[in-house]
Amino acid sequence: MQIQQTAVQSQRALNVSRQQSAAKERERRILQLTIEEIKSLDEDVNLYKGVGKMFMQVPHPIMEKELKTEEKELTDDINSLSKKVEIP
């Protein structure tokens, strides 16, 4: 009985990890597309970042750096989740 409960809990945890990984993968892909779009823009184009209920103008290099940092964090999260999912 206890083994069955442990198996059910493990299956639930595995499903949650897979869902989180898929969500982070989607978010990372959106970030990659955004970075590609920003790179294709001229340097003099104004970029804005949502902050609460308003938008704040952000210089081109800073916006690109922030997005790349966020992409790296998501990649690290995805890698750690995939290690959880792997069967030892």
pLDDT score for 87: 63
Residue 41, phi then psi, degrees to nearest 5? -85, 155
CB 84 within 8 A of CB 17: yes
Question: How far apart are the C-alpha atoms of 34 and 23, rounded to whole Å?
Answer: 17
What is the arithmetic mean of pLDDT over 72-78?
93
With respect to residue 74, please indicate whether it lies within any of the assigned structural domains.
Answer: no
Q: C-alpha angle with apex 22: 27 to 5, nearest 5 degrees?
A: 140
Q: Which amino acid is at 14?
A: L
Q: Is residue 42 part of a domain?
A: yes
The answer to whether residue 85 is domain-embedded is no
Span 8-41, pLDDT tens digits: 888 898 888 889 999 999 999 999 999 999 999 9
- State the total domains in the chain: 1
Position 67 in a domain: no
How deeply is 74 buried, as exposed, middle or buried, from its count of CB atoms within 10 A (0-12, 13-18, 19+)? buried
pTM to 2 decimals? 0.79
**Is residue 23 domain-resident?**
yes
- pLDDT digit string, tens, across residues 37-60: 999 999 888 999 999 999 999 999
What residues make up the domain containing 11?
2-61
